[in-house]
Amino acid sequence: MKILLAEDDAQVRTELRELLVEQGYDVTTAVDGIDAFEKFRADEMVEILLLDIRMPRATGIQALDAIKKIESTNDRVFETLFITGVSDNNAIVSALKLGAFAFLFKPIVVEELLKELSEATDSINQKHYRKFQNSMHNANLENRSPGKAAGSLRDGMSATSEIAAIGAEHYAPDIEQHVHRISEMALCVSVRLGLENQQCQHIRLASLLHDIGKLGGPTDIYTAKRALTKEEFEKTKDHTRLGAALLEHYDDPVIEVAQNIALQHHENWDGSGYPAGLKGDEISIEAAIVHAVDTYDNLRSHRPYRAALPHHVAMEILISGDEKSNPDHFHPRVLQALLSQHREIEAIYERYRPVEIDKGVTNQAPA
């Protein structure tokens, strides 16, 4: 995340810059409001503005005002934090009207600065994610309009939806919610990882089918409202290979991704997963993404041997592990992306919350 720090006091500027670089931020500096305006305009990578209010030539507020006027035309995602040495109410009101994200009063408390920066980073990530969703929504609308040639993506979408519908009908209603959550969460993490738009879209659709192998049964095991025996649990592992085999018959780019996901979504980064015990980059990135969000979702869901866990506990287990899970099971960058998007991940869970979460409708079969 790149920060543009505008501060006229050379000593404060240097100290703040060093602190932020130490924290892993990419920092560029400006000495006054006009300098800040020009540098923001010239550098598209800047996503956080850290502006002193009182500066020569132009104040931080004037700089943001000028930036907002160009922002309307170029649609950039950023947040602005103001640093102020005085409790100047008028300036604060003006800054709020311009959409200031936060205020930091001098002398700056390091913990507060870092907390605000981390919240600004979250907010920027959400904005990117929403922007991506909108662009995908618009692209889908365009694809549906008459006269447009049906591209392979559209064909893939139809095939995916069709198969997902068959799968969903076959299971309890909460399974349908599960695949939708996984699809949305996988998209969220893919976008955070910076994957290309089309790849993100493929992952969103393909991950709907990650558990399609469960269609191969045995259904009584998947719908049992009791703990499974060791043998039954071993049997459920077949859903990976069965899913891949089922999807072999479709010639489509989305289904190809789906086949990969179905086969590898229980493989662990450290090689301890199944069915093949693949390790590290032998596991496709799309399967690694689904593996992480599927594990999160599994922890959030009721099991006969434990209650559904709250968001923060599920996140803690992903990061620190427990008797079943280990952080080494996950692709490190995927885990990092999931963490940085954790609020959105929680929101997705809430959006598709299982209706019968407290009634124990699911067993401990792999998610």
List of residues contacting Fe ion (CB under 5 A): 211, 294, 366-367
Helix (H) or strand (E) holding 355: none
> How is residue 100 written in tokens?
């200031």
Query: Kindly report the CA angle at 19 between 18 and 20, in degrees rounded to 5?
Result: 95
**Cα distance between residue 293 and residue 84, in whole Å:** 41
Question: If you search the block for the tokens 């959105």, which residue do you land on?
Answer: 344
Q: In angstroms, give the least distance from the CB of 134 to Fe ion.
A: 27
Residues 365, 236 contacting (CB under 8 angstroms): yes
DSSP 216-252: GS-HHHHH-SSPPPHHHHHHHTTHHHHHHHHHTT---
Question: Which is closer to Fe ion, CB of 186 or CB of 285?
Answer: 186
> Minimal distance in Å, beta carbon 354 to Fe ion?
13
Q: How far is the CB of 214 from Fe ion (least distance, A)?
A: 7
130 or 306: CB nearest Fe ion: 306
Note whether 42 and 88 are within 8 A (CB).
no
Nearer to Fe ion, 216 or 366 (CB): 366
- Three-class DSSP category at 93: helix
Residue 327 or 366 having the CB closest to Fe ion: 366
Q: What distance in Å separates the CA atoms of residue 194 and residue 200, rounded to the nearest whole number? A: 9
Task: Give the CB-nearest residue to Fe ion.
Answer: 367
From the CB of 118, what's the least distance to Fe ion, in Å?
Answer: 30
The least CB distance from residue 300 to Fe ion, in Å, is 12
Return the number of the residue (92 or 361) whose C-beta is nearest Fe ion.
Answer: 361
Q: How far is the CB of 321 from Fe ion (least distance, A)?
A: 20
Smaller CB separation from Fe ion, 66 or 263: 263
Using CA atoms, how far residue 343 sits from 122, 140, 191, 280, 312, in Å, is 8, 26, 15, 27, 10
The Cα-based distances of 363 to 47, 173, 232, 267, 298 in angstroms read 45, 14, 11, 21, 11
Q: How far is the CB of 346 from Fe ion (least distance, A)?
A: 18
| Distance from chain centroid for Cα 241 | 27
Measured distance CA(301)–CA(357) in Å, rounded: 7
Contact 131, 98 (CB under 8 A): no
In the complex, the smallest distance separating the C-beta of residue 204 from Fe ion, rounded to whole angstroms, is 15
Residue closer to Fe ion by CB (options 39, 204) is 204
48 vs 83: CA distance, rounded Å: 13
Nearest to residue 83, comparing CAs of 99, 59, 65? 59
Return the number of the residue (59 or 264) whose C-beta is nearest Fe ion. 264
Count Cβ atoms below 10 Å from residue 228 Cβ, excluding itself: 17
Nearer of residues 17 and 300 to Fe ion, judged by Cβ: 300
> Least CB distance from residue 211 to Fe ion, whole Å?
4
